[in-house]
Amino acid sequence: MLPTDKSGFIHRFVPAENGIPQPTLLLLHGTGGDEDDLLSLGRELWPGAALLSLRGKVREDGMPRFFRRLAEGIFDIEDLKFRTEELATFIDEAAKQYGFSQKYLIAVGYSNGANIAASLILLHPHYLAAAVLFRVMMPFEPDIIRDFSHLSVFLGAGVRDPIAGRDQVDRVAAILEAGRADVTTFWHNGGHELGADDVEAARAWLAEDKIRKRLAA
């Protein structure tokens, strides 16, 4: 049986290799995924990092998700915000249980997982040090723009994505930049699927000196 915290999230935790201090990657899958989906991606993005991978608690036609939606591209905002608070509580509990620092926590989300990670940034930006968001949409329009100056964010978008289109990605980038986040957008020459070039671009971004220095600050 996989661990379940007080918030009810089934999850996996993989400690950092060899006990060397490393960041923790918070892995958030897309619709229909589970806690195993992004483990290999996490290992590829930052070899040796600790991995904390969740399974979404909401079901849509039997498929796990992190929050409800009313239709394709139309989110249940009330549920999204409620689930975001659950995620924040989970992070607090997991940090104590597994002994990692949120100062070195990096969210890695794809599609539905990227959307709840974006919601977490909008509501609780200091829960993360950085984020890699593949195929993200604007989760909701915030009432206020918070201070994102400590955050580095990579947005992996698809030029021909019919779901997370350019207007959505550009809006996410604009809101984050308005709060002074360091934002990098990479455009994959394809659709909603994750490409090898996405992964390589994100891996190279995480390896940049400016990212490592921000995490070590």
Identity of residue 86: E
1: number of Cβ within 10 Å = 4
User: Residues 65, 69, 75, 76: is their CA dihedral positive or negative?
Assistant: negative
Alpha-carbon distance 85 to 91, whole Å?
A: 10
List the catalytic residue out of 7, 111, 119, 152: 111
- CA terminus-to-terminus distance, the chain: 38
The reply to whether 192 belongs to the active site is yes
Under DSSP, is residue 82 helix (H, G, I), strand (E, B) or coil?
Answer: helix
Residue identified by tokens 């608690």 is 57
List the catalytic residue out of 11, 29, 188, 192: 192
List the catalytic residue out of 11, 29, 53, 161: 161
Alpha-carbon distance 9 to 70, whole Å?
A: 23
Phi, psi values for residue 64, rounded to 5°: -65, 140
The reply to whether 111 belongs to the active site is yes
Residues 6 or more apart whose CB falls under 8 angstroms from that of 109 comprise 27, 28, 115, 116, 117, 118, 131, 132, 133, 134, 136
Active site residue ranges: 111, 161, 192
